[in-house]
């Protein structure tokens, strides 16, 4: 059976925002069971440190990549994963992330662009942040507690995603990845050094791609 024939129908609300809170378990399971888990690339791998290519082909190959990304995300016990974190140079990320109210969000976004918030909407949250590509390291990082990302779904349709709290942090973190930024790039030199020390002193719980 062709991959596209098994793809879910992606729905948006009247404002064009992706409806990503319905049938989360079934949708995530379907992606994951079709996919194959891949090892995670880590800081220092060149693919993580440059802007990724735009997605221009919305077909079976992209659908299979998204399935693999959901499988890889589950193996690594993450809440978001960008394509370059499994070594693929394309602007797409997936997520399976709760917001601060405990509502689960599951989806995939291609060619994401973070929308600029008006000053009155920029309330910073300095919670801790981690990254599958900087395994076992955590640091506090101030980010807005509300985020809107616009992009395309797996079929190329325009969509927007919005999130609050932890989910807002996830949307910003994953969009950063696709433009070549890790969260540690937003830390002070001292904080970045500490995060890399944490990574060096511990062993990740999932398979990673060693840097040569």
Residues 6+ apart with CB under 8 A from 188: none
Unique residue bearing structure tokens 């709760």: 98
Helix axes 24-34 and 60-75, enclosed angle (nearest 10): 100
- Is 120 annotated as catalytic? no
Alpha helices (runs of H) in the chain, residue ranges in sequence order:
24-34, 60-75, 165-178, 189-201
Q: Which one from 22, 33, 115, 174 is the annotated catalytic residue?
A: 174
CA distances from 69 to 13, 51, 66, 86 (A): 25, 19, 5, 8
Kindly list the catalytic residues: 174
């Amino acid at each position: 059976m062709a991959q596209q024939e098994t793809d879910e129908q992606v729905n948006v609300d009247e404002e064009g925002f992706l409806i990503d809170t319905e049938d989360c378990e079934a949708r995530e399971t379907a992606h994951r069971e079709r996919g194959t888990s891949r090892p995670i690339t880590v800081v220092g791998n060149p693919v993580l440190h440059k802007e990724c290519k735009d997605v221009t082909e919305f077909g079976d190959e992209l659908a299979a990549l998204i399935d693999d990304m959901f499988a890889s995300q589950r193996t690594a016990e993450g809440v978001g994963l960008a394509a370059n974190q499994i070594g693929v140079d394309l602007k797409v990320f997936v997520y399976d992330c709760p917001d601060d109210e405990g509502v689960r969000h599951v989806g995939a976004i291609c060619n994401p662009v973070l929308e600029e918030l008006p000053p009155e909407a920029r309330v910073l949250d300095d919670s801790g942040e981690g990254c599958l590509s900087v395994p076992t390291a955590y640091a506090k990082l101030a980010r807005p507690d509300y985020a809107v990302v616009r992009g395309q779904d797996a079929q190329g349709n325009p969509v927007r995603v919005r999130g609050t709290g932890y989910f807002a942090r996830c949307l910003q973190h994953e969009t950063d990845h696709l433009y070549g930024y890790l969260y540690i790039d937003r830390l002070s030199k001292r904080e970045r050094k500490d995060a890399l020390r944490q990574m060096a002193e511990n062993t990740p719980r999932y398979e990673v791609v060693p840097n040569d």
